[in-house]
Amino acid sequence: MNSRLVQFLLALSLLLNCFVLAGFVYRTWIASPFEHMPPPGNRQGGPLEMMVNDLKLDDNQRKALHDLFEKNQAERRERIHGIQQAREQTSDELKKQPVDLAKVDALVEEVSKLRAEQQKANLHAILELDAHLTSRQRERMHEILAERYVGFGPGGRGRPGGPGRRPPPQ
């Protein structure tokens, strides 16, 4: 090979490396983190929104359930805020010397209580969808609930995906 061809190939390689590095720097330090998020509707939101997307509700069904969605989102945000506060307080307590185990235990219990309340509220909200669903959507909703919340679907035992389980429906 002559030296000009080698120099040309090295220059192309350098140019390609510069573009890759520039893309990495842009994505990591310059671009907004929201640019990398998937578009809405791709399983974003809480369990209620996920269920609505999985059931493929039409616009009339969504309008009828608008108040339920708003109420659920507001309560969910409030509980998540409470969980974050309890976690921050737990972190603060763990930084102290000596650690007050009674306070830490109470804060862990508070987080567990809020999580349980949130799961109950999610189930109640999802079950409120029932009156607005078609028979096929209702059947599908109960299949999804059995798989996601209980971990036991029809014809199987154990954790989802574990031994004795059928693959989830597509």
> For 123-139, how does the pLDDT look when each residue is reduced to its tens digit (9 = 90+)?
888 888 888 888 998 89
The pLDDT value given to residue 40: 45
The pLDDT value given to residue 43: 44
Q: Are 165 and 157 in contact (CB under 8 A)?
A: yes
Q: Supply the pTM of this predicted model.
A: 0.57
> For 57-87, how does the pLDDT look when each residue is reduced to its tens digit (9 = 90+)?
888 888 888 888 888 888 888 999 999 999 9
More confident residue, 35 or 119: 119
More confident residue, 63 or 31: 63
